[in-house]
Copies of this chain bind each other. A is one copy, B any other.
Amino acid sequence: MNGIEEEQTTFEIGVVVPKRNLKDENEGCECVDVLLEEFRKVGLIVERVQGIADEFIKLAAPLETLGRAAAELHLKKRTHIGMDLQFEWEEVEAFVRQPDGSLFSWCERFHCYHHLIYGIVNKSQSPLTLKFDGKEFHWEVGECLVRKLESKHFVRQVFPLHDEVQRKKLLKSWALNWWDLTDQPIDEIYSYFGTKIAIYFAFLGMYTRWMFFPAAFAITLQLIDFGSLQLLVLPLFFIGVILWAVMFSQFWKRKNSALLARWQISYSAGVDLGHKLLGMEWSSLQSPVELLKKWGTDKTNEKEAYQRNEWFGCLMRFRNDAMVILSIICLQLPFELAYAHLYEVIGSDVMKFALTAVYLFVIQYFTRVGGKISVKLIKYENNETTEKRADSLVYKVFGLYFMQSYIGIFYHALLHRNILTLRQVLIQRLLVYQVLENLLENSLPYLKYSYKKYRVRNKKKREKGSSTGKIQFASRVEKEYLKPSYSASIGEELEDGLFDDFLELALQFGMIMMFACAFPLAFAFSAVNNITEIRTDALKLLTMFKRPIPRAATNIGAWLNIFQFLIVMSICTNCAILVCLYDQEGNWSIEPGLAAILVMEHLLLLIKFGFSRFVPEEPAWVRASRAKNATRAQDMCSKQLLRSISGVNKVFGKMKEK
């Protein structure tokens, strides 16, 4: 394989196997050779790279191999008439290409690679004997080779590789393009990282862009002295901010569906669920005769089964949510209050520092345990799709973080009932939280990577004895292998790394919204922070981590609901703050003021819940094209279908007559 061909075929998957001892090289039936042979058999292009500590197999696939895999997977793809149909390699012309010209999106390609790699089974009549490092084991008939090798710790990892050309292009046009402020090449991000990450960055960009309005408002508020009108301006700011947030969340939904329409992803909400509810997938190859039979006999049983299933699921979800909420209130709340109280009581700074250290340590442990328990809990819920499962988890874990982040502020606000103290606490938290978080999330992966490199070098040095100078990592694939993977800090098995990024955004949103009246300038802080966040997150993804596994997601899921919840919360908290502000005597009896604030609160709540009726979630053009697509298939082959159905019916009729 020469250099020219390597440039043409981009290797997208890396497989890590241990380096062999050189003395065994000449023996047959070696694991690696079998593996390479099998990879080549399924049509993959293979390249072996010798790393310093391990050996790497880089895999690429010609279009046809991918196409055949896609057809085997019954992948549904958008066709030129705007409808999603099962992919067939023979009819490749019918399918729409991606905006960047390739046939498959990165997510589909990864799916196909996965199918190809884990689809290798022993098709011969007898088990094969494989050898590795002198040990022998049997590859049974029908067993998956890669899984077997993984269980024997021979295949250490299968991970997606960065595409160096695209990566450098993105680095230039996206991560280092600071002057664009909030503009990002979303389409390129989509084709390199897949939907979920692209949607996160689109959201982040829009959120930051919208943030400029309240930030400007807040700065004006800070700079201009309104004199006696000061007390009137604050409620105005509050109303403006709430309206801003309500409109933002609705317009984000519109933008989201417009993005999906641009990327030609269909998202018939609620239509593609239910298939797997009872574990019976509707095979696409069932003939109408079978369908009719099933439909006739099982209908009532099926309905009952579905109903039982649904209510049981509801009950379990309710139980789990109740458990989580109760444990947060009974366990976490006292702990947080105790910390806030102790911090208030203790005089010496050293003790405060020690206390905070202990607190941080315990809270880390607490959230980790909470996350583990949540993962266990949602296993008992029968959520219909993986997306719903992930959402359910996000809600539970966000509950933990919500308490952790805000209860201290609430405590201070209630204890002191003084706007200035509250403002101080907010500034502390915002600065500490955002700056520290940004530093941590960017330095931690780098430190991890450096440590791993150091360990590998060290091991090598010890093996070789005293080496000559520093060992260089020559192969790019080995460097990538040593980079940490993009996963959530709460636990690797939980979610992808977007969990942390979204969490950060949501906590920031809650912080600035819920105490908007106490500290308007927070919006300006956040706007600046988010501008840097866009670029640092981009850098992080492009340079610090392995290329993330592409995940299919059509929206930001649970996080949008959490944002909506925070808006509602912030209407209530801000009203409370306003009451405290105007109520200097400390008793609640300011009849006209209190009544006005209450009325305002109710009006804002009404607007919050009524606004979605005015502006639909989907732009009209998206809805129209969706409507066209939905009916086109039926219209195009209506007659043929009818003939086959009525043919079947006639057969049934004759059977009954007999």
With both chains docked as a complex, state the minimum distance between the C-beta of A595 and any C-beta of chain B, in angstroms. 8
Q: Select which of B572, B602, B609 is within 8 A of A609 by beta carbon.
A: B609
Nearest to A286 among chain B residues (CB) is B635
Known contacts A81-B292, A591-B587, A641-B636; is A314 also within 8 Å of B270 by CB? no
Q: Which residues of B contact A84 (CB under 8 A)?
A: 634
A583-616 vs B, CB cutoff 8 Å, 1 = contact: the mask equals 0000111010011001000100110010001111
The reply to whether A624 and B274 form a contact with Cβ atoms under 8 Å apart is yes
Binds B, one of A342-350, A442-450, A642-650: A642-650
**Cβ of A165 under 8 Å from chain B:** no
Q: Which of A591, A602, A650 has the most CB of B within 10 A?
A: A602
A484 and B594 CA atoms in complex are apart in Å by 54
Binds B, one of A46-54, A154-162, A304-312, A423-431: A304-312
Q: Which residues of B contact A619 (CB under 8 A)?
A: 306-307, 310
The reply to whether B591 and A91 form a contact with Cβ atoms under 8 Å apart is no
The reply to whether B91 and A646 form a contact with Cβ atoms under 8 Å apart is yes
The reply to whether A274 and B594 form a contact with Cβ atoms under 8 Å apart is no
The reply to whether B637 and A641 form a contact with Cβ atoms under 8 Å apart is yes
With both chains docked as a complex, state the minimum distance between the C-beta of A564 and any C-beta of chain B, in angstroms. 9
A84-102 vs B, CB cutoff 8 Å, 1 = contact: the mask equals 1110100111100000000
**Cβ of A621 under 8 Å from chain B:** yes
Q: Select which of B271, B295, B314, B627 is within 8 A of A626 by beta carbon.
A: B271
**Cβ of A79 under 8 Å from chain B:** yes
The reply to whether B268 and A645 form a contact with Cβ atoms under 8 Å apart is no
**Cβ of A179 under 8 Å from chain B:** no
The reply to whether A282 and B637 form a contact with Cβ atoms under 8 Å apart is no
A88 and B642 CA atoms in complex are apart in Å by 8
**Cβ of A128 under 8 Å from chain B:** no
With both chains docked as a complex, state the minimum distance between the C-beta of A309 and any C-beta of chain B, in angstroms. 6
Nearest to A308 among chain B residues (CB) is B620
A280 and B558 CA atoms in complex are apart in Å by 38
The reply to whether A273 and B94 form a contact with Cβ atoms under 8 Å apart is no
Known contacts A272-B627, A307-B621, A591-B587; is A641 also within 8 Å of B633 by CB? yes
A584 and B461 CA atoms in complex are apart in Å by 87
Known contacts A84-B634, A91-B645; is A594 also within 8 Å of B602 by CB? no
A274-285 vs B, CB cutoff 8 Å, 1 = contact: the mask equals 110110001011
Nearest to A624 among chain B residues (CB) is B274
Residues of A257-300 contacting chain B, CB below 8 A: 268, 270-275, 277-278, 282, 284-285, 288, 291-292, 295
A528 and B595 CA atoms in complex are apart in Å by 38
Nearest to A572 among chain B residues (CB) is B602
Q: Which residues of B contact A273 (CB under 8 A)?
A: 623, 627
**Cβ of A460 under 8 Å from chain B:** no
The reply to whether A274 and B81 form a contact with Cβ atoms under 8 Å apart is no
Q: Is the interface of A mostly helix, strand, loop or mixed?
A: helix
**Cβ of A351 under 8 Å from chain B:** no
Q: Select which of B271, B594, B615, B639 is within 8 A of A630 by beta carbon.
A: B271
Q: Select which of B309, B568, B634 is within 8 A of A85 by beta carbon.
A: B634
The reply to whether A640 and B642 form a contact with Cβ atoms under 8 Å apart is no
**Cβ of A476 under 8 Å from chain B:** no
**Cβ of A72 under 8 Å from chain B:** no
**Cβ of A495 under 8 Å from chain B:** no
With both chains docked as a complex, state the minimum distance between the C-beta of A395 and any C-beta of chain B, in angstroms. 10
With both chains docked as a complex, state the minimum distance between the C-beta of A278 and any C-beta of chain B, in angstroms. 8
With both chains docked as a complex, state the minimum distance between the C-beta of A336 and any C-beta of chain B, in angstroms. 20
Residues of A492-521 contacting chain B, CB below 8 A: none
Known contacts A273-B623, A318-B614; is A86 also within 8 Å of B645 by CB? no
**Cβ of A153 under 8 Å from chain B:** no
**Cβ of A303 under 8 Å from chain B:** yes
Nearest to A292 among chain B residues (CB) is B80
A274 and B625 CA atoms in complex are apart in Å by 8
With both chains docked as a complex, state the minimum distance between the C-beta of A616 and any C-beta of chain B, in angstroms. 8
With both chains docked as a complex, state the minimum distance between the C-beta of A211 and any C-beta of chain B, in angstroms. 24
Q: Which residues of B contact A640 (CB under 8 A)?
A: 637, 640
Known contacts A620-B274, A624-B274, A627-B271; is A94 also within 8 Å of B645 by CB? yes
**Cβ of A491 under 8 Å from chain B:** no
Q: Select which of B81, B605, B615 is within 8 A of A605 by beta carbon.
A: B605
A272 and B504 CA atoms in complex are apart in Å by 40
Known contacts A314-B615, A627-B273, A638-B85; is A93 also within 8 Å of B620 by CB? no
A145 and B157 CA atoms in complex are apart in Å by 79
The reply to whether A274 and B623 form a contact with Cβ atoms under 8 Å apart is yes
Q: Which of A587, A643, A645, A650 has the most CB of B within 10 A?
A: A645
A586 and B79 CA atoms in complex are apart in Å by 70
A628 and B282 CA atoms in complex are apart in Å by 7
**Cβ of A131 under 8 Å from chain B:** no
Known contacts A86-B638, A270-B623, A605-B605; is A80 also within 8 Å of B649 by CB? yes
Q: Which residues of B contact A628 (CB under 8 A)?
A: 274-275, 282
Interface residues of A (CB under 8 A from B): 79-86, 88, 91-94, 268, 270-275, 277-278, 282, 284-285, 288, 291-292, 295, 302-303, 306-307, 309-310, 314, 317-318, 561, 568, 572, 587-589, 591, 594-595, 598, 602, 605-606, 609, 613-616, 618-621, 623-624, 626-628, 630-646, 648-650, 653
* 7 A-B pairs closest in CB distance: A589-B589, A306-B621, A93-B646, A274-B624, A94-B645, A94-B646, A91-B642
13 further contact pairs, Cβ within 8 A, besides A630-B630, A636-B644: A92-B646, A94-B641, A94-B645, A94-B646, A271-B630, A271-B631, A284-B635, A291-B632, A314-B615, A587-B589, A588-B591, A609-B609, A636-B641
